[in-house]
Structure 1
Amino acid sequence: MSTGAMLPPGAGRVIEGGGLHATLKVAGGDSALTSTFEIDIAPGFDVGAHVHTHGEELFYVLEGTLDLLAFEPVKRTEGDWHDWVSPTGQQFLRGGPGSLLFVPAGCPHAFANLSNRPAKMLFQSAPSGHEDYFEELTALLKETEGKPDSGAVQRIRERHDIHQLTGFDGGRG
């Protein structure tokens, strides 16, 4: 017989550093197919457009407003992903509480908090183990006092199947 998880508000393992504040609610492992987090998104944060070859992700806005994108654009550009347009004419979604972003493997995606207020989201990543990426990244950010070599960040991201398509603010997504 297996046991599930029941967590009160605020419970979980905090992963924090270099501007990232994530609370791991459900860790990867034998029983979990996904890793589940509650993540605080600071004003001005932009993860930049990126893609995962194998992983799926789900983002659900709990508080605040986030710009969300999940589609293959007509043309991938290295500039601001907010300018991307899908083959059907769709652009990013500015979403508040209750907005959802589902990202299948291979789908370019991004999120940003361009407001002047913090935002909060529930984030699930499959397969499980995204907490390993967050822990490696926060360790690097702490070690370099928030100013890591971009090559070091890129190597961590690539090790965790994160392939950056546009610029990002700190690479914390």
Structure 2
Amino acid sequence: MSYLEPVQYPEPRHHGNKGEVNAVFRPATTPPDISSPGGSTHYLATNESTGGEFGLYKVELGAQSAGAKTHFHKAISESFYILSGELELYNGEKWVTGREGDFLYVPVGGLHAFKNVTDEPMSMLMLFSPGAPREEYFERVAEMTRRGGQELKQFRIRHDSYFVEDLEAGAE
């Protein structure tokens, strides 16, 4: 197959004539970075490790896990790839059931939510682009949710997470 139209790639960021030894390997046996009774999160590629290009996380949710309520991001897109089990995904219009191999891309500003309503655990990859320092969010969201109120709202905003429930008229 021949392509007659010119293709556009981003401007080069590496200007050397030789490649570099700079790949990062993370063995599958690496323990999760966060573990709780409701699941675990593996930091596969962080904002810091990718120079801000993207963040990639493996998230494992236990049975009947609440996940995240409807929200959107102003600066980052978010993608979900189901590795195993099932996950209810809100695509901004309706809930769909994601199963192994299913993928949901949410552009910047797109409403989305997710939850595990089954009696089985599930796992997925979550990709944020461009990269953002999501680790603090993952590490502190449970604590901040327990605190609630204005402190939770400010925490969410600090992490580019705008929850519909926070924006509703009369919300605390």
Which of the five TM-score ranges fits, normalised by the shorter chain? 0.7 to 0.9
* Cross-structure match for 1:76: none
**1:21-32 paired onto structure 2 within 5 Å:** 21-29=40-48, 31-32=51-52
The structure 2 residue matched to 1:5, chosen from 20, 24, 27, is 24
Are 1:98 and 2:117 counterparts? Answer: no
* Cross-structure match for 1:150: 148
| TM-fit CA distance, 1:69 | 1.9
| TM-fit CA distance, 1:125 | 1.2
| TM-fit CA distance, 1:126 | 2.1
The structure 1 residue matched to 2:138, chosen from 117, 134, 140, is 134
* Cross-structure match for 1:113: 116
What TM-score results when the alignment is normalised by the length of structure 2?
0.73
Closer/same/farther in 2, CA of residues 35 and 118 from structure 1, 3 Å limit:
same
Are 1:53 and 2:74 counterparts? Answer: yes
| TM-fit CA distance, 1:122 | 0.7
Closer/same/farther in 2, CA of residues 99 and 57 from structure 1, 3 Å limit:
same
Are 1:35 and 2:38 counterparts? Answer: no
Code of the residue aligned with 1:11 in structure 2: it is: T
> Where does structure 1 lack aligned partners over 5 or more consecutive residues?
72-85, 142-146, 168-173
- Report the identity percentage: 24
Aligned mates of 2:53, 2:33 — CA distance in 1: 20
- Larger RCO, structure (CA 8 Å, separation 6 or more): 1
What TM-score results when the alignment is normalised by the length of structure 1?
0.72
Closer/same/farther in 2, CA of residues 153 and 18 from structure 1, 3 Å limit:
farther
* Cross-structure match for 2:64: 44
| TM-fit CA distance, 1:111 | 0.9
CA RMSD after TM alignment: 2.3
Preserved CA contact (<8 Å) 2:38 2:65: no
> Where does structure 2 lack aligned partners over 5 or more consecutive residues?
1-19, 167-172
Closer/same/farther in 2, CA of residues 18 and 130 from structure 1, 3 Å limit:
farther
Partner SS for 2:80? strand
Aligned mates of 1:62, 1:35 — CA distance in 2: 17
Closer/same/farther in 2, CA of residues 49 and 99 from structure 1, 3 Å limit:
same
Preserved CA contact (<8 Å) 1:41 1:120: yes
1:7-34 Cα distance to aligned partner (Å, 9 max, x none): 2213266123473510101121263411
Aligned mates of 1:2, 1:165 — CA distance in 2: 45
Aligned mates of 1:4, 1:32 — CA distance in 2: 16
* Cross-structure match for 1:171: none
Aligned mates of 2:35, 2:130 — CA distance in 1: 22
